[in-house]
Amino acid sequence: MAIRSVKNLKEFSTANERFEGAHLLCPGCAHSMIVRELMNATDDNLVIATNTGCLEVSTAVYPYTSWDTSWIHIGFENAATAAAGAEAMYKARKRKGTLKDPDAPVKFVAFGGDGSTYDIGFQWLSGAVERGHDFTYICLDNENYANTGGQRSSSTPVGAHTSTAQAGRVSYGKKQKKKDMVAIMAAHGAPYVAQLAPNKWKIMAKGFQKALETEGPCFINTVSACTTEWKFDAKDTIHITDLATDTLMFPIYEIINGHELNILYRPKNVLPVEEYLAAQGRYKHLFKPENRHVIERIQKEIDEKWEYLQRREEAKV
Amino acid sequence: MRGVLATDKRGVRELGAEDLVGWDEVTQGVVLNSFDIEVENPAFLRPEERPYSDFNSYTATVASWRVIKPVYNRDICIDCQNCWVWCPDSSIISRDKQMLGIDYDHCKGCGVCVEVCPTNPKSLLMFAEAEEPEEALGKWPEKKKKAK
């Protein structure tokens, strides 16, 4: 297992990029920051499958591919299945001795957006994790179907404006709560489940390495700020992600073996959620006087969740 | 190192292969090779040593997306590599822990690198696409004093 040193950025930057430029993701998209970081975190051979979503359609625009590793272009729902199938075949061929280079370390990774992870590919992901294949599933959570025009997904948080949950005179955007995917995957008993963010590069790289090293199915939910649908300037991707982690909208934590919860990042100054909401166009309507109650609701839910995470960490159950 | 096709006209014609099937004729199971010859593991090869095939997007460019571009000032840079780790387009060229410059074939001009640059003044700044780098370096701001 060739894990790269992530002690500091200088050492990390000696990695040889395996994700090439001139893909067609939007300028400032956090998807490619996360993908690059995963691929730079290890020197092992990678077999990657990707669900349909921004990442898949933008990195494989015929006749070009942006991947220097084995990469499988697959349907909307089954990156988890494709990675699991490739892993099963690899194991079988290793057992039969038909591999060309049986000692070369190979890691199996699946990428999916939140649409294909929380909604469409949920059953397939659940099945692959239950069967216990040795692979890592990474969800690039941008909280909507950004590839098809920003429809709501079950990952869209309360109050966000999307093209199918519009804010206006009657509605304040999405009314339902965001699905807690990390808890669901931890409930599968997966050996490593985490929620990470690209602005904390070291925590994220270490999390990726831990997931790749861990035998068995690992799930990582990563925050991927979407300049187009969250409506902010392309240069502010990291700033928005900073606000997301510092307002605890996206707490960074891991759950080992389904029960041992560790909080990986505690903000020194917890910011009020207004700062995160005000920085994005999709929450603009919440600052009207009649919608103020939604902000209070969001803040209350964040506080409750943070309290819950801290108590679980203390209790170690 | 193979010559980079400095064009953004993506398509069959640019690859110079008339026998390439159309995108709507591609069937399941088709493989596009990233490299011309078999590469054991590209993680051990630097980009300039790799035998990129014409299918690799490294040989394409998105330079025409840019309206503004980052300009790099070597004199101020401290090689912290913040820009490298957060560049979404693999466009910061770093070798042996040193920042060498910007890959203008793949940079889309998003400006993330400028935002995350910690030096004072910044060692990366956005300028108009038409601006010559030498001219831009002449306009570099002075060090800002901390407000007391």
The single-letter code of the amino acid at A147 is N
Would you place residue B24 in the very low, low, confident or very high pLDDT band (cuts 50, 70, 90)? Answer: confident
d(CA A156, CA A162): 8
CB atoms within 10 A of CB B40: 10
The secondary structure of residue A262, as a DSSP letter, is E
pLDDT value for B26: 77
Mean pLDDT for A102-128 is 94
| Contacts across the A-B interface (CB distance below 8 Å) | 157
Interface of A with B in 188-217 (CB under 8 A): 198, 201
Report ipTM for this prediction.
0.91
Please determine, for residue B128, whether its predicted confidence score (pLDDT) is greater than 70: yes
Interface of B with A in 19-78 (CB under 8 A): 20, 23, 26, 32, 34-35, 39-47, 50, 54-62, 65
Would you place residue B12 in the very low, low, confident or very high pLDDT band (cuts 50, 70, 90)? Answer: very low
Mean pLDDT for A278-289 is 95
Q: What are phi and psi of A145, to 5 degrees?
A: -85, 75
Q: Which of A16, A33, A62 sits opposite B88 (nearest CB)?
A: A33
Mean pLDDT for A211-220 is 96
Top CATH class, A9-315: alpha beta
Interface of A with B in 56-85 (CB under 8 A): 59-69
d(CA A241, CA A226): 10
pLDDT value for B18: 54
Choice between B146 and A179, residue whose per-residue pLDDT is larger: A179
For residue A78, the chain B residues in CB contact (below 8 A) are none
Would you place residue B16 in the very low, low, confident or very high pLDDT band (cuts 50, 70, 90)? Answer: low
Going from N- to C-terminal start, the domains of chain A cover 9-315
d(CA A214, CA A211): 5
Question: Residue A160 half-sphere exposure, CB side, CA atoms within 13 Å?
Answer: 25
Tokens 């990707």 locate to A50
For residue B91, the chain A residues in CB contact (below 8 A) are 21
The secondary structure of residue A157, as a DSSP letter, is P
The secondary structure of residue A246, as a DSSP letter, is H
The single-letter code of the amino acid at A257 is N
The single-letter code of the amino acid at A313 is E
pLDDT value for B148: 64
**Spatial CA neighbour of A253 closest among A300, A183, A167:** A183
Could you write out the DSSP letters of every residue in A117-142? IIIITHHHHHHHHHHT-S-EEEEEE-
H or E element that contains A209: helix A201-213
Subunit contact B34:A14, Cβ cutoff 8 A: no
Query: Min CA distance, A258 vs chain B (Å)?
Result: 31
Would you place residue A247 in the very low, low, confident or very high pLDDT band (cuts 50, 70, 90)? Answer: very high
pLDDT value for A284: 95
pLDDT > 70 fraction of chain B, expressed in percent and rounded: 86
Please determine, for residue A218, whether its predicted confidence score (pLDDT) is greater than 60: yes
H or E element that contains B40: none
Please determine, for residue A264, whether its predicted confidence score (pLDDT) is greater than 80: yes
pLDDT value for A144: 95
Mean pLDDT for B113-124 is 94
H or E element that contains A72: strand A70-73
Q: Say whether residue A100 is in contact with chain B using an 8 A CB cutoff.
A: no
Question: Residue A141 half-sphere exposure, CB side, CA atoms within 13 Å?
Answer: 29
Please determine, for residue B11, whether its predicted confidence score (pLDDT) is greater than 70: no
pLDDT > 90 fraction of chain A, expressed in percent and rounded: 94
Show the tokens assigned to A149.
């025009």
pLDDT value for A122: 95
Please give the residue of chain A at the shortest CA–CA distance from B16: A63
Instruction: Specify whether the CB–CB gap between B44 and A105 falls below 8 A.
Output: no
**pLDDT tens, position by position, A136-151:** 999 999 999 999 999 9
Show the tokens assigned to A190.
């997966």
Domains of chain B: 1-61 (no CATH), 63-138 (3.30.70.20)
Please determine, for residue A217, whether its predicted confidence score (pLDDT) is greater than 90: yes
CB atoms within 10 A of CB B3: 6
Show the tokens assigned to B3.
């010559």
Mean pLDDT for A81-89 is 96
Instruction: Specify whether the CB–CB gap between A3 and A42 falls below 8 A.
Output: yes
Mean pLDDT for A100-104 is 87
Show the tokens assigned to B77.
């840079």
Q: How high does pLDDT run on average in chain A? A: 94
d(CA B79, CA B99): 6
Secondary structure of residue A158 in the 3-state scheme: coil
For residue A238, the chain B residues in CB contact (below 8 A) are 86, 112, 115-116
Please determine, for residue A25, whether its predicted confidence score (pLDDT) is greater than 50: yes
Mean pLDDT for A156-181 is 94
Please determine, for residue A128, whether its predicted confidence score (pLDDT) is greater than 90: yes
Would you place residue B30 in the very low, low, confident or very high pLDDT band (cuts 50, 70, 90)? Answer: confident
pTM: 0.92
Would you place residue A7 in the very low, low, confident or very high pLDDT band (cuts 50, 70, 90)? Answer: confident
Would you place residue A296 in the very low, low, confident or very high pLDDT band (cuts 50, 70, 90)? Answer: very high
pLDDT value for B4: 39
Q: Which of A96-110, A267-281, B20-34 is predicted least confidently?
A: B20-34
Would you place residue A96 in the very low, low, confident or very high pLDDT band (cuts 50, 70, 90)? Answer: very high
Secondary structure of residue B115 in the 3-state scheme: helix
Q: Are β-strands A192-196 and A252-256 bridged in parallel, bridged antiparallel, or unpaired?
A: antiparallel
Interhelix angle A201-213/A30-40, rounded to 10 degrees, is 50
Subunit contact B111:A235, Cβ cutoff 8 A: yes
Show the tokens assigned to B131.
């601006």
Tokens 């939604």 locate to A294
Please determine, for residue A74, whether its predicted confidence score (pLDDT) is greater than 70: yes
The secondary structure of residue B147, as a DSSP letter, is P
Subunit contact B85:A237, Cβ cutoff 8 A: no
Interface of B with A in 117-146 (CB under 8 A): none
